[in-house]
Amino acid sequence: MKIAFLLILLLISMPFSKPAPDYSLNVTKVDRAVIKVLDSINPLSVAYDIEYGGNVYYSPIRGIIVSPPQTNHNPHNVLIIPDNILTLNGFVKIGNYHTHAASNPDYLDETFSRQDTTKTYFKEYLATPMGKILKYDPRFGRMLILDRKENKWELYYFSPLVMEEIDTTDEDD
């Protein structure tokens, strides 16, 4: 009898109405708008070794705006509108984007920097020197990479070891 009572209490206390978190990896309209801008500016960013960046805004009435890419002509940072400016002419800020310029052996260019993932409360998008598109979602603390063939996001686990050049020459030759 006591066991049945405890089971009933356990079932009653379980949160049935709480919705599951959104773990969807589908590419959204916002994602597509940002990807289009990143794909257009990334070749210039790599060629001139300059970071570019901007903001993403949304209005339920007027839709999505991705601000034009800005630069301060620096290969390792870009000034964008700070996170404390949340609205622009009726639009609400929902994200940031930037590029990582040309490859540099002193930096981990193919992933977000610590500053990229700790400075914002918004989704952060990144185009890398090798052409990858990454997205960081601070709500879930996860990093995603765009799978262009499947047009979906995948979880991204970056390892600096992958970036090291592997010597394939045989030492015995």
Q: How far is CA 110 from CA 59, 71, 105, in A?
A: 32, 19, 11
> Residue 149: its pLDDT value, please?
93
pLDDT tens digit string along 140-152? Answer: 888 999 999 999 9
Strands 63-66 and 87-88: unpaired
Per DSSP, 18 falls in state: S
Whats the size of the chain, residue-wise? 173
Quick check: 170 pLDDT over 50?
no
Please report which confidence band the pLDDT of residue 157 belongs to, taking 50, 70 and 90 as the band edges: confident
Tokens of 38: 């990143």
Q: Distance (Å, rounded) from C-alpha 21 to C-alpha 3?
A: 32
Report whether pLDDT(93) > 60: yes
Token code pair at residue 20: 């599951």
Question: pTM (2 decimals)?
Answer: 0.75
Separate counts of helices (H) and strands (E) for the chain: 4, 8
Res. 115 pLDDT band, cuts 50 70 90: confident
State the DSSP string of 67-120: PPPB--S-SS------TT--EETTEEEEEEEEE--S--TTS-TTS--HHHHHS-
Write down the mean pLDDT value for the chain. Answer: 78
Q: Distances from the Cα of 172 to the Cαs of 7, 15, 143, 169, in angstroms?
A: 69, 65, 42, 9
In this structure, of 41-50, 52-61, 102-111, 124-133, the range with the lowest mean pLDDT score is 102-111
pLDDT range class, residue 165, cuts 50, 70, 90: very low
What is the rounded distance in angstroms from the CA atom of residue 42 to the CA atom of residue 62? 27
